[in-house]
Amino acid sequence: MKRLFIVIPLLMIIPFISTVAFSSSGFVNVYYNGTVNAVLYNNVSQFILIGYNVTGLKVIGAEYYLANNTLYLKNYTSSYAVIQYDATLSRGVIQVDEKENFTIMIYLPTTVTISYIYPQPLSIGVTKNGLYNISLYSDRVILLYTTQSIPVQRGGGGESNIEIYLLLGLVVVDVVLAYLIVQTLRRGRREERIAEVQEDKIDMISSETLDERDTLVLEAIKMGTDTLAEIIRLTGLPKSTAYRRLKRLVKLGYIEEVREKGKVRYVLKKKDSDSS
């Protein structure tokens, strides 16, 4: 009979979702397969690695040393540092414990059932690759999910009824989550349009001045990233924001758009002295 109570916390998943803009100390992308990449601003001195059995650790833009699963950063060479690695995550659990508030984006297959999220997500979307993109803002995150189906007993006893109730509860959770995703996407598009208008006004006022997001995109291109998808992955910026920043940098003459065989690349614009 105890298994019946599992349904109760499952039905309490994500009571409310809102999209709020925060001043983040960086962006952290966590994938269900253990891939982690982060962009940290130069006010961050410590980053606690997510997961265990870390391999392929790479830090670009700052000096560092690793102790007790914590990266200590110093002597930034630019306004931010990029961290990339692969790790092992506990099955069905993604947990983040940091000393700074970050914008944390968690990517999960849409086939999973999410049973618990803390804190309240900023937004939930679905990528073109068929992954949930769950965005949160905090120094501590915990997300529980399952990929296993619940077996239903074929006997005629009371235990089979309990299993059926549990399965129905999981179905309800998926329906509620799908509804929240649709509502969040609609609200996100409205707020994105408002943000676009506000950004355009700012651009008109200070058309020659690069802000923090312009600089982030420009630095990514200087590091060799040359496509919109790669720039989004490295910077953690939303697609629409990254695209507008690229167009702005092209207009201001910092970069140029190169089209080759139907593909678009962005490269630093050559100075006149270089071409002569």
Is 60 within a domain? no
- The kind and range of the H/E element at 274 are helix 272-275
- 145 and 210 in a single domain? The answer is no
- Structure tokens belonging to residue 191: 């707020």
CA-closest candidate to residue 99, choices 53, 56, 40: 40
Q: Are residues 162 and 104 in the same domain?
A: yes
Q: Which long-range contacts (CB under 8 A, 24 or more apart) does 272-275 make?
A: none
> How buried is residue 120: exposed, middle or buried, by Cβ count under 10 Å (0-12/13-18/19+)?
middle
Residue type, 211: D
State the Cα torsion 143-181-234-92 to the nearest 10°: 20
Q: What is the pLDDT of residue 129?
A: 86
Determine the pLDDT at residue 236.
87
Same domain, 215 and 254: yes
Q: Based on the structure, what is the number of domains in the chain?
A: 2
74-88, 94-108, 160-174, 176-190 — which is least confidently predicted? 160-174
Most confident of 27-36, 108-117, 214-223: 27-36
Q: Is omega for the bond preceding 109 within 30 degrees of 0, making it cis?
A: no
233 and 106 fall within a common domain: no
pLDDT tier, 71 (very low <50, low <70, confident <90, very high otherwise):
very high
Write the pLDDT tens digit of every residue in 126-143: 988 889 999 999 999 999
**Residue 226, domain member (yes or no):** yes
Residues 248-276, mean pLDDT to the nearest whole number: 81
pLDDT at 276: 47
Looking at residue 22, its pLDDT comes to 47
Does 83 map to a domain? Answer: no
User: For residue 262, is it within any domain?
Assistant: yes
For the chain, the average pLDDT equals 79
pLDDT recorded at residue 214? 87
Total Cβ atoms within 10 A of residue 107:
17
Q: What is the pLDDT of residue 262?
A: 82
pLDDT score recorded for residue 181: 76
Sign of the torsion angle spanned by Cα atoms 263, 265, 271, 273: negative
Does residue 70 have a pLDDT over 80?
Answer: yes
Higher-confidence position of 190 and 56: 56
Which range has the worst mean pLDDT, 88-97, 107-116, 135-144, 167-176? 167-176
Counting residues of the chain whose pLDDT is more than 70, the rounded percentage is 72
pTM higher than 0.75: no
Is residue 23's pLDDT more than 90? no
Is the model's pLDDT at 180 over the cut of 90? no
What range defines the domain where residue 230 resides? 206-275
Based on the fold, state whether residues 142 and 181 are members of the same structural domain: yes
Among 189, 217, 233, the domain boundary falls at: 189
Q: Do 233 and 122 belong together in one domain?
A: no
Q: CA 94, CA 121: separation in Å to the nearest integer? A: 14
The residues, any chain, with a CB within 8 Å of residue 102's CB and separated by 6 or more, are 24, 25, 26, 27, 28, 38, 40, 96, 137, 138, 139
CATH number of the structural domain spanning residue 212: 1.10.10.10
Residues 184 and 241 in one domain: no
How does residue 213 score in pLDDT terms, banded at 50, 70 and 90?
confident
CA distance 82 to 133: 20
Mean pLDDT, range 229-235, rounded to an integer: 89
